[in-house]
C-alpha cells in the first residue's frame, strides 16, 4: 500500500474531513492513478484509527466529485479526473478550481487589443470595430489542454491589457477597477471543434466540445465581459440542481 500519512486525532478538524483531504492529495499527486484499485476500507480505517462510517463520509465526497468509482466485485477504483461545473452558481475559473481543491496550470496566456466583431459588439452593446481588450487562455490540470477561453471586456472598465492577469480575473476587476460582477447569463451547446479549437485543445477536428458563451453583468445589469469557453468533453461535465416548485 502507498505510504499514507496518519490523521491528527487531536486536531479540531473533523476526522472525515482530514481523511478526505489526504485522499484527494494522494490522487492529485498520482500516488493512485486512473484505474488503480483503491485500498480496502477496513485497511484505511484501521490505519487511521477511525470507523468505517467516518471513512465512508470522505469516500462518498470523492465518488460524488468523480475521483473514485464504486464497482461491485472490483471494489473502489480511481477514475479519470473529470471536472464537474455547477450551473447554479459561478466563479472565475481560478476560484472554481481552488474551491474544488484541483491544482491547474495556465498553458497559454495572451492579451491584445482587438476590434470588436459583430458578435462582441452585440454582446457588449458597443459599436462594431470598437477596440476592446481580449484575454486568451488555455488551462489544464495536467500537460494536455482542457479548456480554451476568450474574454472581451467592455471599454468603460478601463483595461489597457497591461494588467496582471495572473490574478483571479474578477478579483482584479474588483480591487483595481471597482467593478463587481453580479450576474451571469450563459448559453451552452455541444459542437464539433473547428480547425482552430482542435489545434488549441490538441484534439481531432470535429471532435465534440462544450461551448459556453457567458455575458457577465454588474449590479446595474451593464455588460462587463463577453466570454467564450471551449471545453474538451472528455474532461468536463456540467451539472445543475433544480428544486421542484411547491404545489
User: Using the 8-state DSSP alphabet, how is residue 37 labeled?
Assistant: B
C-alpha cell read off for 199: 489545434
Report the alpha-carbon distance of residue 18 to residue 58 in Å, rounded: 8
Say if CB 120 and CB 138 are below 8 A apart.
no
Say if CB 20 and CB 58 are below 8 A apart.
yes
| pLDDT grade for 199, boundaries at 50, 70 and 90 | very high
Q: What is the pLDDT of residue 215?
A: 94
Query: How far from 200 is each of 23, 107, 221, CA to CA, in Å?
Result: 32, 10, 33
Report the alpha-carbon distance of residue 166 to residue 159 in Å, rounded: 14
Share of the chain above pLDDT 90, in %: 39
Query: How far from 168 is each of 50, 97, 152, 155, 174, CA to CA, in Å?
Result: 38, 11, 16, 19, 10
Query: How far from 121 is each of 129, 153, 210, CA to CA, in Å?
Result: 8, 11, 23
Is 198 a residue whose pLDDT tops 70?
Answer: yes
* DSSP H helical ranges for the chain: 15-28, 41-48, 52-64, 93-100, 118-124, 169-177, 195-201
Residue 45's region, left for phi above 0, alpha for psi from -120 to 50, else beta, is alpha
Judged by average pLDDT, the poorest of 42-46, 72-76, 147-151, 190-194 is 72-76
Say if CB 191 and CB 212 are below 8 A apart.
no
Q: What is the pLDDT of residue 87?
A: 43
Structural domains of the chain, ranges and CATH numbers in brackets:
15-78 (1.10.10.10), 85-239 (3.40.1410.10)
**Tens digits of per-residue pLDDT, 153-181?**
999 999 999 999 988 888 888 889 988 88
Say if CB 223 and CB 123 are below 8 A apart.
yes
**Tens digits of per-residue pLDDT, 59-102?**
888 887 778 888 877 778 887 555 544 444 555 555 555 555 55
Is 246 a residue whose pLDDT tops 70?
Answer: no
C-alpha cell read off for 75: 471494489
How many CA atoms lie less than 13 Å away from 172 in the CB half-sphere? Answer: 18
**Tens digits of per-residue pLDDT, 4-31?**
788 999 888 899 998 988 888 887 777 7
Amino acid at each position: 500500500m502507498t505510504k499514507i500519512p496518519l490523521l491528527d486525532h487531536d486536531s479540531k478538524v473533523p476526522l472525515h474531513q482530514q481523511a478526505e483531504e489526504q485522499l484527494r492529495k494522494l490522487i492529485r499527486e498520482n500516488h493512485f492513478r486512473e484505474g488503480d484499485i483503491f485500498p480496502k476500507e477496513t485497511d484505511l480505517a484501521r490505519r487511521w484509527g477511525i470507523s468505517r462510517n467516518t471513512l465512508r463520509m470522505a469516500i462518498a465526497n470523492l465518488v460524488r466529485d468523480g475521483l473514485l468509482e464504486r464497482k461491485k466485485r472490483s471494489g473502489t477504483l480511481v477514475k479519470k479526473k473529470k471536472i464537474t461545473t455547477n450551473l447554479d452558481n459561478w466563479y472565475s475559473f481560478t476560484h472554481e478550481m481552488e474551491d474544488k481543491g484541483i491544482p491547474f496550470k495556465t498553458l497559454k496566456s495572451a492579451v491584445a487589443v482587438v476590434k470588436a466583431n459583430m458578435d462582441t459588439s452585440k454582446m457588449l452593446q458597443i459599436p462594431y470595430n470598437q477596440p476592446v481588450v481580449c484575454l486568451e487562455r488555455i488551462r489544464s490540470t495536467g500537460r494536455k489542454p482542457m479548456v480554451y477561453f476568450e474574454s472581451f471586456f467592455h471599454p468603460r472598465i478601463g483595461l489597457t491589457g497591461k494588467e496582471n492577469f495572473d490574478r483571479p480575473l474578477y478579483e482584479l476587476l474588483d480591487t483595481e477597477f471597482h467593478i463587481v460582477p453580479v450576474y451571469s447569463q450563459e448559453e451552452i451547446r455541444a459542437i464539433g471543434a473547428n480547425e482552430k479549437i482542435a489545434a488549441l485543445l490538441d484534439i481531432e477536428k470535429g471532435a465534440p466540445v462544450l461551448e459556453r458563451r457567458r455575458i457577465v453583468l454588474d449590479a446595474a445589469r451593464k455588460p462587463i465581459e463577453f466570454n467564450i469557453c471551449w471545453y474538451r468533453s472528455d474532461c468536463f461535465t456540467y451539472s445543475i440542481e433544480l428544486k421542484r416548485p411547491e404545489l
